[in-house]
Amino acid sequence: MGRRWRDGRGELVVHGGGEGPPVTVPMEIATSYRARTKGLLGRDSVDGAILLSPANSVHTFRMRMPIDVAYLDRHLRVIAMRTMRPGRLGMPRLRARHVVEAEAGVMAGWGVREGVLVEVITVGLRHRPA
């Protein structure tokens, strides 16, 4: 199940497992090596979230803020969640294919937790959970 995303903007839709309506969050999409390497480095905040794809681990070296990290499998199901302070190295998740990063504490409010399916909407394309 290959994804054909490109660097740019989109939306993350969190399907909270039937607990209320889906939550839609603005998102940056980073698929090129250069965009994934930069990620959230050097920023003081982020509007919504950033999707790194492909990715199965992250680090927070040179980051200015703590972040929430959600590891997604190939079906866009959250398989692990972590909050990471600056200067940390995250453990690789073997089944992870994508990583979503956001400011620390916001993902819980969106309903992101292990087992939840998310959806990525880009201009003209909609990637639904399998």
**Over the stretch 8-24, which tens digit does the pLDDT of each residue have?**
999 999 997 667 789 99
Longest alpha-carbon distance in the chain: 38
- Looking at the chain, the whole-number percentage of residues with pLDDT higher than 70 is 88
| String of DSSP letters for 93-124 | -TT--EEEEEETTHHHHHT--TT-EEEEEETT
Q: Which of 130, 86, 84, 85 is nearest to 99 (CA)?
A: 84
Determine contact, residues 16/23, Cβ cutoff 8 Å.
Answer: yes
* Residue 36, pLDDT score: 85
User: Beta 125-127 vs 117-122: how paired, if at all?
Assistant: antiparallel
Name the band, by pLDDT with cuts 50, 70 and 90, for residue 27.
very high
- Confidence check: pLDDT of 126 > 80: no
Name the band, by pLDDT with cuts 50, 70 and 90, for residue 38.
confident
